[in-house]
Amino acid sequence: MRYNKTLLLLLACSMSLFAQKAKDNTKRDQFISGLMAKMTIDEKIAQTVQYTADGTVTGPKTGINYIDEIKRGNVGSILNATGVKYTRELQKLNLDNSRLKIPLIFGHDVIHGFRTIFPITLGEAASWDLSAVELSARVAAREAAAAGVHWTFAPMVDISRDPRWGRVSEGSGEDTYLGSKMAFARVRGFQGHDLMSTDVILACTKHFAAYGAAEAGRDYNTVDMSERVLRETYLPPFKATVDAGVGSFMTSFNEIAGVPATASKFLLRDILKKEWGFKGFVVTDYTAINELIPHGVARDSAHAGELAMVAGVDMEMVGGIYMKNLKKLLAEKRVTEAQINDACRRVLEAKYDLGLFTDPYRQSSEQREKAELTKKENLDAALMVANKSMVLLKNSNNVLPLRKEQKVAFVGPLVSDEHNIIGSWAATGDRSGFAVSVQEGVNKIVTDKNKVTFDKGVEIVDSRRDMMQAALNNARKADVIVAVMGEFENMTGEAASRTNIDLPGIQKEFLAELKKLGKPVVLVLMNGRPLTLTWENDNMDAILEAWYPGTMGGDAIAQTLYGINNPSGKLPMTFPRNIGQIPLYYNHKNTGRPYLGPSDPEQKYKSRYIDVDNSPLYPFGYGLSYSTFSYSNLKLSSAKMQMNGKLKVSVDVTNTGNYDGEEVIQLYVRDVVGSVTRPVKELKGFKKLLIKKGQKQTVDFELTTEDLKFYNIDMKFVAEPGDFEVFVGGSSDAILKDKFELVK
């Protein structure tokens, strides 16, 4: 009885919310229709135009003077302008010159923080902690909004299986399921529940689509894949953001099977706007319409503009083609008025939703900006997320955690670094000494200064050797050596692909010298992609993957090294043994000649290399803790699952070590026989839980038919009856296994 009452109440509430939303939409439609009735075609086209300011440089120069264009009333949006003073000046200039007082929308790449910088996105994904990731996006939104930004070009949700690609640092790794959950959480974080509230910003899902599958990991390179792979592996994170209510989408630079994404009606109109019912607007990536010419699908810029408008691009980033050509294209009937109206309306709707027509400055003030940026609460959140993103890759003989009474020689090019530690795409993050370095973090914990030394030893890439001896001398006197090494921040991100993903420069040579001293050596890594660490794994005693951990990174690393934080991150991307194995990912197909490893009685004529094992160095989902967890008692609620039914999976997880710790419990499923081949396993659930030492927790998952669906032989998205295997554990190597049958 009581249950029914609650249900009725909930129903009534959601109906009234629904009614309210419908009323708001009607109000918005009336406002925009009224406005558009007064707009000339030039004014409508202006809404589809975005130019870059000269605050940040994020692409090639075009020679277009954005100030002149604003004065002519030719601009709907500006990117790369931040700060209350600057954005207010530009907005005022625009309003003074816009006949109908249509506000500008300011966009910026707020990827992993605005001024308070959080770990790079790949690092955040390693936390497997959705509420931490949502909080990170929320803090970034609050800071950006306070600094006059309305719109972020994030989340970047590109799945990638190629660590050579520099932009893996901006995404959530190789897995569709994890990537979709992260994408959803980020949109929620950026946009909050109501875009009208002035401490959230509009999100933009990018890069649509399959940009992460660039051939050979070379940025902007060609992509070719089946529609099945596109839909199953690459598109779900994009769809997840539509479900989360994302307000905008960005096209990608690449082509897919001969069609550049920016000219792809299939992607933009058929899938995004029609099939998924996306109501927001689509912006191109930087000069992506111009690039249709070198791609070889457009004769000239007018043709490029035509292709983009017909495909469903609503706003052009930077290139100036829409402004120059759309009116003429309309006169020549190469684009329709309905297409231009639709693009303009979508942009105006976003501006309306953000409250820009009521207050074009969204209550930004220098006072609010000052109070918000890097306030304590934001720094605390950044530290919390950085701690959660640390992945312990190796820890022989429990060399970690360090003890304060040990004498530790900290060495390496990143030991005192305050520049690289915040990573690439760090918005307005301060690289000049604001971030906490490892040295500073350690000094806060170890008060006896005789116990620690800090030496660079070597640089990241340049091969000077003159600092090495001093570092080795200190290392010789220590109980433990900690080497803090990695990549320059600009070795990852856009246009930063590598063909060699070893530790750069002579860092490895220096590690070999350190190893000769016979002391335990701990390697702490800062990098934006999986590296090839076979030698390091064989020779180092412990390895901590810290990614680029952000403004509070030095504190997080020090707290992890000294056991104040127990590492709980798990890899969102496979670490290969060598570059020749790439692409290497856990949810591969079995092939007709699967190789069972060194114990396989058949070593020839198997799908394998003759010089290295098929297995990765560290698999997806892998990460150690200072504690240990044991898995037992895997149970399924039934040996059969009805079509459209559910199945409960439960497992006992015991913390068998000496530290309280968080563990990411992962559930994988394999469809044994399908009308098309299926991966050897796929992540279908995870939970991150704190389990106290000595305690056991029973963890439940629910599988539904939705989790078992895929594009079958007829490209229908269905679950097929038959046998399924279930694996549960602390990584994609999970060994606890059971099975069930899906029945009609």
For residue 707, give the nearest of 643, 634, 625 by alpha carbon: 643
Which residues are 636's β-sheet partners?
649
Under rule CB under 6 A, residue 59 binds ligand NOJ: yes
Burial letters 700-718, b for 16+ CB under 10 A, else e: ebebebebbebbeeeeeee
Question: What are residue 113's phi and psi, to 5 degrees?
Answer: 115, 160
How far is the C-alpha of 181 from the C-alpha of 239, rounded, in Å? Answer: 11
Strand pairing report for 408-411 and 452-455: parallel
Tokens 């069609």 map to which residue?
259
Under rule CB under 6 A, residue 134 binds ligand NOJ: no
- Minimal distance in Å, beta carbon 501 to ligand NOJ? 21
Under rule CB under 6 A, residue 674 binds ligand NOJ: no
Q: Which of 74, 77, 103, 109 binds ligand NOJ (CB under 6 A)?
A: 109
How far is the C-alpha of 326 from the C-alpha of 45, rounded, in Å? Answer: 7
For ligand NOJ, the closer CB: 64 or 196: 64
Q: How many residues bind ligand NOJ (CB under 6 A)?
A: 9
Under rule CB under 6 A, residue 112 binds ligand NOJ: no
How far is the C-alpha of 28 from the C-alpha of 16, rounded, in Å? Answer: 18
Q: Which of 44, 115, 164, 206 binds ligand NOJ (CB under 6 A)?
A: 206
- Minimal distance in Å, beta carbon 431 to ligand NOJ? 18
- Minimal distance in Å, beta carbon 262 to ligand NOJ? 12
Under rule CB under 6 A, residue 316 binds ligand NOJ: no
Contact in structure between 707 and 605 (CB atoms under 8 Å): no
- Minimal distance in Å, beta carbon 79 to ligand NOJ? 6
Tokens 């040990």 map to which residue?
406
Under rule CB under 6 A, residue 151 binds ligand NOJ: no
For ligand NOJ, the closer CB: 52 or 625: 52
Q: Which of 286, 575, 618, 727 binds ligand NOJ (CB under 6 A)?
A: 286
Q: Which of 58, 650, 704, 705 binds ligand NOJ (CB under 6 A)?
A: 58
Under rule CB under 6 A, residue 177 binds ligand NOJ: no
Intra-chain end-to-end CA distance of the chain, in Å? 34
Under rule CB under 6 A, residue 494 binds ligand NOJ: yes
Under rule CB under 6 A, residue 175 binds ligand NOJ: no
Under rule CB under 6 A, residue 153 binds ligand NOJ: yes
Residue 562: Cβ within 10 Å count: 20
Helix axes of 2-38 and 337-353: crossing angle, nearest 10 degrees:
120
Q: Residues 109, 129, 285, 314: which is the catalytic one?
A: 285
Amino acid at 591: T
How far is the C-alpha of 694 from the C-alpha of 91, rounded, in Å? Answer: 59
For ligand NOJ, the closer CB: 489 or 671: 489
Name, in order, each residue with C-beta under 8 angstroms of 98's C-beta and a sequence gap of 6 or more. 73
Give the residue at shortest CB distance from ligand NOJ.
Answer: 58
555, two tokens: 């504190």
For ligand NOJ, the closer CB: 282 or 556: 282
Under rule CB under 6 A, residue 150 binds ligand NOJ: no
For ligand NOJ, the closer CB: 285 or 372: 285
109 included as an active-site residue: no
For residue 308, give the nearest of 322, 294, 324 by alpha carbon: 322
- Minimal distance in Å, beta carbon 123 to ligand NOJ? 18
Q: Which of 69, 143, 162, 285 binds ligand NOJ (CB under 6 A)?
A: 285
Residue 148: Cβ within 10 Å count: 26
For ligand NOJ, the closer CB: 160 or 625: 160
Under rule CB under 6 A, residue 55 binds ligand NOJ: no
- Residues involved in catalysis: 285
Binding site for ligand NOJ (CB under 6 A): 58-59, 79, 109, 153, 206, 285-286, 494
